[in-house]
Amino acid sequence: MTHDRDTIIVGAGLTGLVIAHKIKRSHPDHRLLLLEKNCTSGGVIKSFRDSGYLAEYGPHGFLDNCAESRALLTETGLEQACVRASLKEFVRYVCIDSKLMMIPQSPLKIATAPLIPWPDKFRVLGDLFKKPLGGEPTVAKWAAYRFGTALLPYVDAVFTGTYAGDYNELKIDAVMPGVRQLEFTHGSIIRGALAKARKSRAQRGQGAPLQMPSMTSFPDGMQRLPDRLSELIGAENIVFNTAVTAVKQTASGWQVETADQRFQAANLVVALPVNQSLRLLEPLQPPPLKQIPEAWIATAVFGFKQGSLPPGFGFLSPERERRFTLGTLFSSNMFPNRAPHGHIVFETLVGGRRHPERLDLDDETLLAGALADVKGLLDLPPKPDYTKVLRPKGGIPQLEHGYSGLLSWRNELVTRHSGLYICGFGWEGIGLNDMIKTAGSVSERIVARSRQTQQRAEVRKVYF
């Protein structure tokens, strides 16, 4: 049977787009098709522009410390078109007791900054003497065990900023597998981190300064990345407004069904967020969980004609502060041209895993709550010039109880079903760099498999 395509990719978010781009780039003759439910590509990546302001529904950027992401920028010709904000210059703040505490940029400065009392700093060193914590602890339990409880508000802020999550629910093995490995290999995070730093210094060469990564975006916002990838993949290879409703393995590959069409392919990539993958793949083998929790947020955008922001990227508020908002990004500090000349803009996040009820508020109420909250922390003129509520199209998958079982189920499923690849938002992390890294390795495996199949066919031709 001849396949309609060599590879079908379900979902044209960043994951699906990067896989398609990588395959096309190395094998232009590979016949692939991306099927996308929505009318545009990019998934949760979407920039918003109005009245001279630029904001984001989804991601604001990615750190340029990932080789695969840097390679993607080069391949797409976007390397020169980036805007970058170095972590060396841009500090962050955590709101503690209704005050913004600046987090210094180097471990030594953090150690000496007045973030926690001195006796608690000595408790942090207790990490050197603690055995690895067994089981699958939550982030909060694990951090308290290793470093003591004084650091918890800061740890909470980190996971509010990345997952919009609840660190009493997120599992440390799922959200920081690398850190957990340091714990098991070196018996201590501090020892492991020092060993890593020594190795990296040796690789850089003695005396070479440590490069701090930069937050990276584009002058017209993050949407530039999926737009450029879609251009390179070619409109003829992406079908929009087409939701995949079922997938089936056949004798010769995969059959993919939509409301009114059927497609055949040798390889099937399900490049969807965890919950959407589960719905599609359940008939192949029931998963141990029907779904995982997601954290949804709304972004309140505020533009001011006068007023200034503290230097830096922005701040995060741990739950114990009991504030209305999760944190604020100082957008006009981070990247140029985010606001009209002489104006400032910041984006304040509301909702998350712990406060989904706030997302039910109408725009006016949500804006009023968010503005009252940030006014207690920032020095602002009485009224904003511009306001807007952005509600992203997707939630952030939460890697909580049962996630490790789900990963095992996914791994078993792909082992049992040749030609099936499952990746995307939440499967191997949640950040853009995670998606780009995994997409690169999936595309390599698909190309290798196609090559093997082709070689087998050629050998058969010789003998028969």
Are 79 and 25 spatial neighbours (Cβ–Cβ below 8 Å)? no
Q: Considering the complex, state which of residue 396 and residue 446 has its C-beta at the smaller distance from ligand FAD.
A: 396
First to last CA, the chain: 18
Chain residues in the site for ligand FAD (CB under 6 A): 10-16, 35-38, 43-45, 58-62, 243-244, 271-273, 276, 280, 297, 392, 394, 396, 424-425, 430-432, 435
Check if the beta carbon of residue 425 is closer than 8 Å to that of residue 274: yes
CA torsion through residues 164, 170, 171, 172, sign: positive
Closer residue to ligand FAD, CB minimum distance, 213 or 340: 213
Q: Which is nearer to ligand FAD, 115 or 268 (CB)?
A: 268
Q: Among residues 13 and 148, whose Cβ is nearest to ligand FAD?
A: 13
**What is the C-alpha radius of gyration for the chain, rounded to an integer number of angstroms?**
24
Alpha-carbon distance of 53 to 337, in angstroms, equals 8
Closest CA to 298 of 321, 326, 276: 326
> Shortest distance, CB of residue 45 to ligand FAD, whole angstroms?
5
86 phi, psi to nearest 5 deg: -75, 140
What minimum distance in Å lies between the beta carbon of 239 and ligand FAD?
Answer: 9
- CA triple 418-421-427, angle to 5 deg: 140
Distance (Å, whole) CA 395 – CA 353: 9
Shortest approach of ligand FAD to residue 256 CB, angstroms?
9
The residues near 227 (Cβ < 8 Å, ≥ 6 apart) are 41, 42
Query: Angle at the Cα of 331 (from 297 to 357), degrees rounded to 5?
Result: 15
Backbone angles phi, psi at 314, to 5 degrees: 145, -165
Q: Which is nearer to ligand FAD, 146 or 410 (CB)?
A: 410
> What's 211's DSSP letter?
P
In contact, 179 and 172? CB cutoff 8 Å: yes
At closest approach, how far in Å is the CB of 149 from ligand FAD? 29
Q: Are 220 and 55 in contact (CB under 8 A)?
A: no
Cα–Cα dist 346/56, whole Å:
11
- The distance of closest approach from Cβ of residue 349 to ligand FAD in the complex, given in angstroms and rounded to an integer, is 8
Token code pair at residue 439: 């997409």
Q: Among candidates 16, 439, 400, which has minimal Cα distance to 237?
A: 16
Segment 115-119 long-range contacts (CB within 8 Å, at least 24 positions apart): 115/154, 116/150, 116/151, 117/150
CA gap 313, 91 in Å, rounded: 6
- Minimum CB separation of residue 365 from ligand FAD in Å reads 20
- Taking the complex as a whole, the smallest distance from the CB of residue 269 to ligand FAD amounts, in Å, to 11
Task: Tell how many helices (H) and how many strands (E) occur in the chain.
Answer: 15, 21
CB-wise, 148 or 394, nearer to ligand FAD?
Answer: 394
Nearer to ligand FAD, 201 or 279 (CB): 279
The CB-of-141 to ligand FAD minimum distance in angstroms stands at: 25
Q: How far apart are CA 279 and CA 315, in angstroms?
A: 36
- Name the residue nearer to ligand FAD (CB basis): 273 or 303: 273
Considering beta carbons, is residue 148 or 397 the nearer one to ligand FAD?
A: 397
Q: At its nearest, how many Å lie between ligand FAD and the CB of residue 113? A: 25
Cβ nearer to ligand FAD, comparing 54 with 380? 54
Closest CB 24 distance from ligand FAD, rounded Å: 17
Q: State the minimum distance, in angstroms, from the CB of residue 430 to ligand FAD.
A: 5
Among residues 115 and 366, whose Cβ is nearest to ligand FAD?
366
